[in-house]
Amino acid sequence: ATITQEEREEILRNNFEHTIFSWSKQKGLNPISVERAEGVYLYDHDGTRYLDFSSGLMNVNIGHGNQRVTEAVARQMQQVSYVTPSCVTKVRGELGKKLAEICPGDLNKAFFTVCGATANENAIKLARLYTGRHKILSRYQSFHGASYGVISAGGDPRKIPVDSQQAPNFVHFDIPTAYRWPHAPETLLPESVAQLERIIGYEGPETIAAIMLEGESGTSGCLKYPDGYLKEVRRICDKYGILLIIDEVMSGFGRTGKWFGVDHSGIVPDLMALAKGVTSGYLPLGVLMVSDKIAARYDDTTLPLGLTYSAHPVSCAAALEVIQIYEDDQLIENTVAMGKYVEERVEELKSQHISIGEFRNTGLLGCLDLVKNRITKEPLAPFNAKPSEMGLMNKVAAKLKELGMYTFVRWNLVFIAPPLCVTREQVDEGLAIISEALKIADAECD
């Protein structure tokens, strides 16, 4: 151990008595007490090593502890750590230019926020201002953040406890997925598109400001869009004068094997929200990328958006360095290769574990969908299950931790989303741990 038992206990006491943990019952928590982190590993105060198989919350894309970022941040802090968002700084302009280069189409201007939620909140605000319409359409089984507007936009059970506080003018639609589509596969796309157009008709297209979708589905279970779906959504948006907001908070910055999830479909959104991988979590930052057409509206009209920490110079410096690291270390290329490798290895695991219903991934944004029965596809824990109701899945999660893995486990899903610098050996190490833990799940399958 690197510290005494007494010091260890004080750390835990301070945390539990004086801080509040997100999305949890505060009693009975047993989190990893992290002392340091490097590459794909976390180390606790006892020196125990954990393989981080979800890159934190699918944000630490370059891996932990990269000293290039530390140095870039320190350099920026020595020069100027904060100025108001009304000032010009070198780093702000350079980051804006770089983002315009890597973002699709005419998304050429960046409005900087502090996180994913604030990027999406501002996207919604701007879409309503620009169109003069009020409704936002979004997907059930999606997540866009936890503040008022975006938790209402999301279709995640995390909003159910605050249901009475939902913001008005959010309408949800369903997008079925191939795995649980009971009809002929070729009907999936046309039915999904027809359903969306019906809802637009019922609501009145002239009332709808924007359709908001994740670039690739994340915490809801990497629920792939039907092939060609996003292209159809873009067409429908253009047909009715509806803006398309794409949330790349989780699917951006190489996670899916391209800069952005939306790059797989070749469409260009009107507004695009970024966060997480933009700094790989080294500092908080969100970005709303705005199309030329929308940005031009504010050439001669006052933009009614702002935050104290918009274009924070130190966060911008972290982002610039992180983006350079994606390029220098060829992390997007590695994501494609490691994504394929994970697919091959999971295919082998499927023959050993009857609890694996499906593995869905794009690059290194992936999860196992665990089922009680491969024919009925009944999930091992129901969508909507509270942590205390996850039964067997809690045992699987505890086993993963006991075997030295940190990863995101939710309902019947086990995420496989390691940092983009992961090696084959580390993938093998992680899948061996998962394989061991899945024996618990297999025992309950029929």
> What's the one-letter identity of residue 314?
V
Report in angstroms the alpha-carbon separations of 240 from 113, 170, 205, 234: 29, 18, 6, 10
- Residue bearing tokens 């002392």: 35
The pair of three-digit structure tokens given for residue 311, joined into one six-digit string: 């274009």
Rg (CA), the chain: 22
Verify binding: residue 116, ligand PLP, rule CB under 6 A. yes
Nearer to ligand PLP, 139 or 345 (CB): 139
Report the distance separating Cα 357 and Cα 171, nearest Å: 31
Considering only residues 257 through 296, tell me which ones interact with ligand PLP, judged by CB under 6 A: 275
Nearer to ligand PLP, 267 or 365 (CB): 365
Considering only residues 144 through 173, tell me which ones interact with ligand PLP, judged by CB under 6 A: 144-145
The pair of three-digit structure tokens given for residue 322, joined into one six-digit string: 């992180």
Q: Which residue has its beta carbon closest to ligand PLP? A: 116
Verify binding: residue 409, ligand PLP, rule CB under 6 A. no
Nearer to ligand PLP, 95 or 151 (CB): 151
Verify binding: residue 139, ligand PLP, rule CB under 6 A. no
The least CB distance from residue 16 to ligand PLP, in Å, is 23
Q: Which stretch binds ligand PLP (CB under 6 A): 16-24, 105-113, 247-255, 398-406?
A: 247-255
Nearer to ligand PLP, 150 or 208 (CB): 150
Sequence length of the chain is: 446
Label the pairing between strands 365-370 and 107-113. Answer: unpaired
Of the candidates 186, 175, 93, 191, which has an alpha carbon nearest to the alpha carbon of residue 140? 175
- Quick check: 356 and 368 in contact, CB under 8 A? yes
Report the distance separating Cα 371 and Cα 305, nearest Å: 45
Verify binding: residue 307, ligand PLP, rule CB under 6 A. no
Q: Which stretch binds ligand PLP (CB under 6 A): 41-49, 114-122, 168-176, 301-309?
A: 114-122
Verify binding: residue 312, ligand PLP, rule CB under 6 A. no
Verify binding: residue 321, ligand PLP, rule CB under 6 A. no
Nearer to ligand PLP, 91 or 274 (CB): 274
Q: Which of 121, 156, 232, 247 binds ligand PLP (CB under 6 A)?
A: 247
**Neighbouring C-beta atoms of residue 348, cutoff 10 Å:** 11
Total of residues contacting ligand PLP (CB under 6 A): 15
- Quick check: 282 and 316 in contact, CB under 8 A? no
Nearer to ligand PLP, 55 or 120 (CB): 120
The pair of three-digit structure tokens given for residue 152, joined into one six-digit string: 């209402």
Q: Which stretch binds ligand PLP (CB under 6 A): 8-16, 86-94, 110-118, 121-129?
A: 110-118
Report the distance separating Cα 293 and Cα 277, nearest Å: 26
Residues within the interface to ligand PLP (CB under 6 A): 57, 115-117, 120, 143-145, 214, 218-219, 247, 249-250, 275
